[in-house]
Amino acid sequence: MAEDLRYVVKKVVGEENFIDMSPNRSNNYCCGGGGGFLQAGYPEERRQYGKMKADQILATGAPYCITPCHNCHAQVHDLSDIRGHAWETLHLWTLICLSLGILGENEREYLGEDLKNVAVYGA
């Protein structure tokens, strides 16, 4: 499953633009949004937990981070925001539609300024 997603992401952004974080696969770390943490009312602890993920993301130097589910998206987005919006956080569906040229202007909430106006469908 995870390898299938790697295949999709590489096809969508181009092999040369894909950067795996380290460690990855089964050695990777949870972002800290899971297990109900996001709703548990411990923002400080949740962000302390997420520091490991934030450092991993920053180490890639990538301007975009793709998250697989809504929980991760919310957590990783927050981890970026508290660091002065250090990276953009995307759902995979946004990226797939962007690469297919069918992403409309109202579906770009999470794209950065560099991609906001690229290949806008219907424009």
Helix (H, G, I), strand (E, B) or coil at 112: coil
DSSP code at position 21: -
Residue 67: half-sphere exposure toward Cβ, Cα within 13 Å = 25
Report in angstroms how near the CB of residue 32 gets to other proteins at its nearest.
6
For position 97 contacting other proteins by CB under 8 A, the verdict is yes
Is residue 63 at the binding interface for other proteins, with CB under 8 A as the rule? no
CA distances from 116 to 35, 63, 107, 108, 111 (A): 33, 14, 10, 6, 6
Q: Which is nearer to other proteins, 35 or 63 (CB)?
A: 35
Of the pair 19, 52, the CB lying nearest other proteins is at 52
Q: Which is nearer to other proteins, 22 or 48 (CB)?
A: 48
* Cα→Cα distances 95→39, 98, 123, Å: 27, 5, 18
Q: How far is the CB of 86 from other proteins (least distance, A)?
A: 18
Name the residue nearer to other proteins (CB basis): 18 or 29: 29
| Among the listed residues 100, 114, 117, 119, the single contact to other proteins using CB under 8 A | 100
CA–CA gap between residue 77 and residue 48 (Å, rounded): 15
| 14 near other proteins, rule: CB under 8 A | no
Give the one residue of 10, 114, 116, 121 binding other proteins; rule: CB under 8 A.
Answer: 121
Token reading at 82: 């508290």
